[in-house]
Structures are given as structure tokens and as C-alpha cells.
Amino acid sequence: MKYTYILFLLVFFCSCKDDYKRPEIISKVTIDTIIRDSILSARALDFNKDYLFYGSSDHFGKYALNKELKFDIDNLKLSNSENYFKHIVTHEEKPLHFRAIEIVYGNMFVISVGNPGKLYKLNRKAKNPKLVYEEHHEKVFYDSMDFWNENEGIAIGDPTDDCMSIIITRDGGHTWNKISCTDLPKANDGEAAFAASDTNIAIVGDNTWVATGGTSSRILYSPDKGNSWQVFDTPIVQGKPTTGMYSVDFYDENNGFAIGGDYTKPNDTLSNKIRTQDGGKTWQVVADGQSPGYRSCVQYVPNSNAQELVAIGFKGIDYSNDAGESWKHLSDEGFYTIRFLNDSVAYAAGRGRISKLIFK
């Protein structure tokens, strides 16, 4: 009888799923704050079925999405408790700042911005992160990271020489190697990248797109997981250190979208939203002169046939259901980055909080 009761509790808790089905066209968003922390400034975000992972201004951490279930067989009790873990890593007694994160089969990878650039791997069952790459240079600044599969991954950063900094692993993140500038397109004067939302890299299959920004804002493209590279121009606003693409996403091998602008002029709406339908070779400005203005992150809504997009920034949340031709402002609530769980639920991070977003 005791075990029958426990089984009943398990079935009850596991069956309490959200059966919400969103409408065909999103008209609003509800925001449920999961983590609230006044010193949090999170621009990197990832998750799996168990945890939400993030990188912030002075630490990286993880938060249990489902409270840990604990059974007391003797007293027939079922209790739960939150798990929230923070990792502070220092260099010369100062906390490192993390703006790029990736979860690969439960293992966490994070890389710091600034000099030195330090990349850590935290195995799923480990308590302490392991340093797997380190780079010292006065110009080192890594902006974003992504993986093609469980063994092969990439991180990109600002130029330390005359090309973008690109490091690659082929052994599950145990070792990382920097690509020589002789094997990469030469960077233009003032070309770099923005560590605004950890979405400077988009991957579909073996295809990889890297968005640069600044006085020159272009797309670096690799068809073969970083073994060879070419570069494509874009019509997005550029020419100043604060202008260009801040985020890029691809729905499939052909359809991609990039957004940005100038964060010092967040209401400017000219040439800050661009779209490609030929795999990044050519780009067209869309919704020119229309809201939204500057946004730090754009993501395709899953299963939307490359038609639905959500863009976020410190000025709010916006939605398009016509591949970026027009946009609806959903909220003034500010965030830096967003990741979708499905076509109606996403997680967003920003200053002071990480939230669950439900689109309706």
C-alpha cells in the first residue's frame, strides 16, 4: 500500500504538463520570472530538460527547471526543493565575465570576455569547471559559442590579428585550436563582433554563419564545419563601432535573419533588419523605417516555416509572422537574449532576471 501511494504521487506530478496550444498568430506574451537577482546581467543562455544555464557579469550558473523530488518512504512524504548553483571564477582576484555558453550532452562550456580569454568545461557530474583553453592578448574578446555535434564546436571573437578570432574543438571540448588568419577572410578595419546575446553564430547541419559588426558588418560562412571560409557583404547599418549585426539566426540552409542597429540610438529603425533566402550569399533590408529599432537578439519560432520571428532587446519584445516584413510590439519588458523551448514557450535573460515567456 505504501508503494502504491508513492506511485500515485509520481503519476500525479509527472502528468501535470502544460497542454496550452498557442493560436496561429501570436498577439501577446506573458512573462514569469524564474530567477531574480539585482546583480545579474545575463547575455548567454541555454537549457536542457533539467536545468537552465546562463553566463553573467561575474559568474555562470544553473537553475533546476523542475524542483528536485525527494521521497520519504517511511513517512509517505513527497517534498521538493530548488537547486540553484553559481560558479564564480576569478583572474587576479577579479571575477571573470561570461557572455557565451553552450550545453552539450549535459556538459557546460563557457568562455570569458576580455583578456585573458578563458574557456571552461564543466562535466555534468563535476563540481568544479576545468580550464580547457586560454588566450592572452590585449585585444582578445570572445563573443559567442556553438556546437555542430557532441564532439565539434566553435567560438568566435574579435580580431587579435587581421582576421576574426575563431577557435574550434574536434574532441568534445577537451582541446581547442585557433584558426590561422591565412585560412580566414581578412577582417576590415573596425570589424569585430558584439557579445550582446551569444547569437553571433548560426549552425544548420554542417553550415555555419558568423555575424560581424562595427564599422564593417559582414557574414563569414563555412559549408564544412569550419574547415573552409568565405565572406559575404550585408546592407545592414554599419560604419561606427556601435553599429551592425548583433544577432543572426537561420531556420534552414536557405532562410536566415539578422538584426541589430546601434545600441546608442535604440529607436533608429533604418537598415537594422535584414533577411536572406539563399543561404547568406545575398541579404535584403526588410521593414525599413519600421519598428523595432535596435534589438540584441532574434530567433525563429520553431516549426514556423521560416515565417515567425521574435526579436528582443532592452527596449522590449517584438514578433513577426511574415518573415520580418512587419512586426508587432508585444512588450516593453527588456531582455538581452532568448531561446525557444517550443513554438509557444521560451526563456529570456537580461538585467536582474531570467524569465519564462509564454506566447499567446
On the question of pLDDT at 14 being above 50, the answer is no
DSSP element (H, E) containing 111: strand 107-112
Q: Is the pLDDT of residue 70 over 60?
A: no
**Pick from 325, 327, 324, 346: which is nearest to 257 by CA?**
324
Is residue 21 in a domain?
no
* CATH at residue 340: 2.130.10.10
Q: Over the stretch 82-106, which tens digit does the pLDDT of each residue have?
A: 588 899 999 999 999 999 999 999 9
Higher per-residue pLDDT: 257 or 79: 257
Distance CA 168, CA 153 (A): 6
Is the pLDDT higher at 65 or at 324? 324
Q: Measured over all CA atoms, what is the biggest interatomic distance in the chain, rounded to whole angstroms?
A: 74
Here the cell at position 16 is 501535470
How far apart are alpha carbons 12 and 22 in whole angstroms? 24
Structural domain contains residue 1: no
Residue 19: inside a domain = no
Q: Where would I find the H helices in 211-359?
A: none
Across the range 153-179, mean pLDDT stands at: 98
3-state secondary structure at position 120: strand
Residues 6+ apart with CB under 8 A from 159: 139, 165, 187, 191, 192
Confidence at residue 79, expressed as pLDDT on a 0 to 100 scale:
47
Between the alpha carbon of residue 252 and those of residues 44, 123, 271, 312, 345, the distances in Å are: 23, 30, 23, 21, 21
The answer to whether position 128 is within a domain reads yes
Contact 247, 259 (CB under 8 A): yes
**For the chain, how many structural domains are there in total?**
1
Quick check: is 5 in a domain?
no
Worst-scoring range by mean pLDDT, 14-23, 140-149, 277-286, 340-349? Answer: 14-23
Range of the domain at 31: 26-359
- The whole model's pTM is what? 0.91
Average pLDDT over residues 49-55: 94
Q: Is 198 left (phi over 0), alpha (psi -120 to 50) or beta?
A: left
The residue-averaged pLDDT of 237-241 equals 98
Whether the pLDDT of residue 48 is over 90: the answer is: yes
Are 355 and 216 a contacting pair, CB within 8 Å?
no
Residue 7 is assigned to a structural domain of this protein: no
Parallel/antiparallel/unpaired status of strands 153-157 and 165-169: antiparallel
Q: Is 335 within the bounds of a domain?
A: yes
> Interior CA angle at 335 toward 334 and 336, to 5°?
135
The pLDDT tens digits of the residues spanning 328-356 come to 999 999 999 999 999 999 999 999 999 99
pLDDT at 13: 43
The pLDDT of 63-81, averaged and rounded, is 60
The answer to whether residues 214 and 191 touch, using CB atoms and an 8 Å cutoff, is yes
Q: What is the helix (H) or strand (E) element at residue 118, kind and residue range? A: strand 117-122
Rounded mean pLDDT of the chain? 92
Q: Is 20 a domain residue? A: no
Find the helix or strand (DSSP H, E) in which 11 lies.
helix 2-14
pLDDT value of position 22: 76
According to the model, what pLDDT value does residue 6 have?
Answer: 44
Q: Give CA angle at 330 (346, 274), nearest 5°.
A: 80
pLDDT at residue number 124: 84
Pick from 317, 112, 311, 141: nearest CA to 213 = 141
